[in-house]
Structure 1
Amino acid sequence: MASDAAVLTVPGPDGDREVRISSPSRVLWPELGITKLDLANYFVAVGPAFIRANGGRPVSLQRFPAGVDGEQFFSKNPPRGTPDYVRAVDVTYPSGRVHPQLVLDEPAAAVWGVQMNTVVFHPWASRADAPDFPDELRIDLDPQPGTTFPDVIAAALALRDLLDEFGLTAFVKTSGNRGLHVFAPIEPSFEFLDVRHGVIAVARELERRMPDDVTAAWWKEERGARIFLDFNQANRDRTMAGAYSPRALARASVSTPVGWDELGSVDPAAHTILTVPERLNTVGDPWEALHEGAAPSIQPLLDRWEADAESGLGELPFPPDFPKMPGEPPRVQPSRARKP
């Protein structure tokens, strides 16, 4: 009979910590029989790479108390009983409300997240010491119906080259599902709205170069069979699954950093919590150098945003839960808009 709890020893910067995992035999991924303890052990194995990519940032926990097929909810603020090695930082949400949000600084904190039934970790693009100023530009390449994963790869490679023209170095990871996430380190000197405008400028330029392949259209009815460059993921409090975070999908896939030279042969379905630890041991972490050295400014992107604005290309729609923003067009899909 399985015990009611397991205790894991988790190495970290301040030495080993003992983290208790209750209900260790609870099955989180029914099709594979992967348990809560399996997930906790996964984070022990990938802890240094996970924290390097996601640590020191406000983070939201996507929690599944009954497994990935059951109900879920998000936690942002520290719950009762949070250990002293898990901290919080005050952040400002789009509504203007200020509230403390969790910050993970060491692998034991991620394992504690598993104890809280977390499956997916969603880190902010900014760090806890400057939460209003992103140090990562992030673009979600979202395949639309009628597109394939090779289509996503082609868009990602073109995006990498375009970012290079603007002086930014791109890194890529699988989303854990059908898409890819492209990140670039940036100087944390511009606020979220500016970074969003920079992403829109990139998306529009790539759309001009590849009009049949990619789109920056917010409304699904206008996207067609193209790869959507989701500019709204650059907004404040909008996040995606972090690097090395599992996804709540049946195959227990992981959002996995890959090298650009791997992209042509990568199989996102092959990267799971069962395989990624060994991949890290043999291949290493393609994102290890993501934040090494000085990060560039996004000013060249903002210059392009301003040039587009002068030519009549203005603001794009915000997510529906955001307050109405200055210059934003009506939040109604084109087919339902009133005709003049």
Structure 2
Amino acid sequence: MASSKDAVVLDVGGLEVRVSNPEKPYFADKGIRKIDVVEYFVAVGEGILFALRDRPTTLERWPGGVFEGARISTRADNTGDAFYQKRVPKNAPPWVPTAHITFPSGRTADEIAPDSVAVVAWCANLGTLTFHPWPVDKTDVESPNQIRIDLDPQPGTDFSDAVWVAPHVRELLHEFGMEGWPKTSGGRGVHIYVPIQPRWTFTEVRHAVIAFGRELERRLPERVTMSWWKEERGEKIFIDYNQMARDRTIASAYSIRPKPHAPVSAPVDWDELPDVSPLDFDVLTMPDRFRTVGDRHAGLADHSFGIEPLLELFEKQTQDAGIGDLPYPPDYPKMPGEPMRVQPSRAKKPAEG
């Protein structure tokens, strides 16, 4: 590692990655500096590269670090301290690869598609804490090769409730001849990844997740909800089916979440999931865990499941119960077959006769 007063240069797999302002506090409460963040990603490099390799990836950048009151910019307010970067930065070195993707609006972009740990480290130098990869490979950006089931605790529920639901997800996956790999979200939720054959469109894969979620909700009506509208969810675990819509992503395995204790999204075994806490995994503890147990998601590479039974279930639900598609996110164009995108409490009631 070469260094100067204002920067250090790391050799990462034979490529030079310059880290500017290495002593800059990034998580002051934990004593974590910018250089510690970059070195963390190098330490878990094999794992996070498996999660990101050749996938178009949105960067969640916190160039000022995480501090009290820090917030991320949104479409409505771009004055935040952090931001999402979907297009490759203009100053990217020639060894940073990209993937050409199309947004729901029809606009296009070239996003970073990491192919080396050096690319991840270079992104970390830009202040990237959380990596948001698409569920596609850059060789075919129209066909997802992963299902990502997001168990999202609603107010009144927490991580333990998501953990309670998770084995029921696995049991239902087994009924459809599939297997899932869980991880903590780095917050209160649980994510379950299912590798699938890249043969279907985003719409078809989203329909498969809707069918799966509805069946889980039917079996666990007091614990699980598929209601898009928050006012209807109650104290349940929401299956966020829109995470499988185009340009919707979740934090990758090993990503750092922007919270004072520097938590990370951690792959776990099914057997250990009931006994872990999100607080167990952070920038300081994950490198030792990774050296000890390796990448708990490595098994994803050995499988590729079909989703035909889930698509058949979606059609059956549509025909038997008269329920079809569900609302898309509010910034999406109106989609074919989508119901009214109106909050139930604001929908016009039919006039009484």
User: TM-score normalised to the size of structure 2?
Assistant: 0.93
Residues 259-285 of structure 1, C-alpha deviation per residue, up to 9 Å, x if partnerless? Answer: 001011011111001111100111221
Paired with 2:66 and 2:315, the residues of 1 have a C-alpha distance of 44
Paired with 1:114 and 1:313, the residues of 2 have a C-alpha distance of 44
Letter in 2 for 1:215: T
What is the match of residue 11 of structure 2?
Answer: 9
- Given that residues 174 and 268 in structure 1 are in contact (C-alpha distance below 8 angstroms), is that contact kept between their aligned partners in structure 2? yes
CA drift at 1:33: 2.2
What is the match of residue 301 of structure 1?
Answer: 310
Paired with 1:285 and 1:39, the residues of 2 have a C-alpha distance of 19
CA drift at 1:146: 1.3
Aligned length in residues: 335
Letter in 1 for 2:145: D
What is the match of residue 126 of structure 2?
Answer: 116
What is the match of residue 33 of structure 2?
Answer: 35
What is the match of residue 47 of structure 1?
Answer: 45
CA drift at 1:79: 1.1
Paired with 1:267 and 1:89, the residues of 2 have a C-alpha distance of 35
- Given that residues 134 and 195 in structure 1 are in contact (C-alpha distance below 8 angstroms), is that contact kept between their aligned partners in structure 2? yes
1:1-340 map, 5 Å: 3-11=5-13, 16-69=14-67, 70=70, 71-293=81-303, 295-311=304-320, 312-340=322-350
CA drift at 1:42: 0.4
- Given that residues 217 and 223 in structure 1 are in contact (C-alpha distance below 8 angstroms), is that contact kept between their aligned partners in structure 2? yes
- Given that residues 52 and 113 in structure 2 are in contact (C-alpha distance below 8 angstroms), is that contact kept between their aligned partners in structure 1? no
Residues 52-98 of structure 1, C-alpha deviation per residue, up to 9 Å, x if partnerless? Answer: 12111000001112112341111122112211221111111111122
CA RMSD, aligned part only?
A: 1.3
SS of the residue 1:49 aligns to: helix
Residues 159-182 of structure 1, C-alpha deviation per residue, up to 9 Å, x if partnerless? Answer: 011011111110000000000001
- Given that residues 198 and 302 in structure 1 are in contact (C-alpha distance below 8 angstroms), is that contact kept between their aligned partners in structure 2? yes
For structure 2, list consecutive stretches of 5 or more residues without a partner in the other structure: 71-80
Letter in 1 for 2:308: Q
User: TM-score normalised to the size of structure 1?
Assistant: 0.96
CA drift at 1:201: 0.3
SS of the residue 2:254 aligns to: coil
- After the TM superposition, which of the residue ranges 215-224 and 29-38 deviates more from structure 2? 29-38
Paired with 1:333 and 1:231, the residues of 2 have a C-alpha distance of 17
Letter in 2 for 1:298: I
Q: Percent identity between the aligned chains? A: 48
- Given that residues 77 and 88 in structure 1 are in contact (C-alpha distance below 8 angstroms), is that contact kept between their aligned partners in structure 2? no
Paired with 1:182 and 1:54, the residues of 2 have a C-alpha distance of 16
